[in-house]
Structure formats: C-alpha cells, structure tokens
Amino acid sequence: MAEHDPAHGFDADTVRIDRSAVRNLNASTATLERAAVQRMTSGSAEVTNSAVGVLNGATVELNESAAGIVSGDYVKVEGSRVFVLMGLRVNGNVQAVITLQAAFAFGAGYFLARRLTSLLFGRPGR
C-alpha cells in the first residue's frame, strides 16, 4: 500500500505516475510518463517523456527525458539529456558535458589562475 503525503511524496513497492508532479518518490519499481519528480530512489526506474531532478536506482532507463543527476548500477539513456551521470554500466547515446580531459583542463586552469593571481598581487597561493 502506498503512503501519500503531498508535502513529502510517495513511498511504495510499485508506482506508476502519469502526467503528475511529485517532490519525493521512493519505490522498488517506478514508471514515469510525462511526469516531473524532484528526488527519486528506485530499484528499477523507467522514465519516459519526463523530468527528474535527482534519480538514484539500481536499473535506470531514460527515454526522451531530462535529468539533473542520475546514479545507478545500469543506466540506459535513449534520446535524453542528463547533466551528471554516474553509472557502473551505461548504455545508449550518451554525450558527456564534462569529460575526463575537460575536468583536468579545468583543474589546470584553476591552478594556473591562482598562481598568476598570487604572483601579480603578491599574495601567497594557498
């Protein structure tokens, strides 16, 4: 039986949400279609034409959706956009915003900017 509190969200074994908005969702199995969820934790999640802020699950499938942060053991992405993706196994057409090379470049640029600032203004770099 699902617990529902509009201020907090849903806690259930199996949830199917269509054309709704939910703040928090905790479920063993969750299916979203044309929905929006702020924070979601699920063993198995299938998200279609939806938006999710933070999604954590063992098996995650995103189809034509958008997500801020996705974490899972197996993540399948088809026609979706994800800002931060952390997965042991990732399948689908995934385009990274920040790659490993870009992360190193940002770090090197930050280090050089701090050194340059400390040399120009006479302050020791920390």
Q: What is the pLDDT of residues 6-62, one digit of tens each?
A: 445 656 688 899 999 999 999 999 999 999 999 999 999 999 999 999 999 999 999
79 and 56 within one domain: yes
109 and 65 within one domain: no
Instruction: Return the pLDDT at 3.
Output: 46
Instruction: Return the pLDDT at 8.
Output: 55
12 and 64 within one domain: yes
Identify which of 29, 54, 55 has the alpha carbon closest to the alpha carbon of residue 43: 29
pTM greater than the 0.85 cutoff: no
Q: What is the pLDDT of residues 49-96, one digit of tens each?
A: 999 999 999 999 999 999 999 999 999 999 998 988 888 899 998 777
90 and 124 within one domain: no
16 and 45 within one domain: yes
How many domains are contained in the chain?
2
Polymer length of the chain: 126
Supply the range of the domain harboring residue 44.
3-95
User: pLDDT tier at 108 (50, 70, 90 boundaries)?
Assistant: very high
User: 85-101 burial string, b = 16+ CB within 10 Å, else e?
Assistant: bebeebeeebeeeeeee
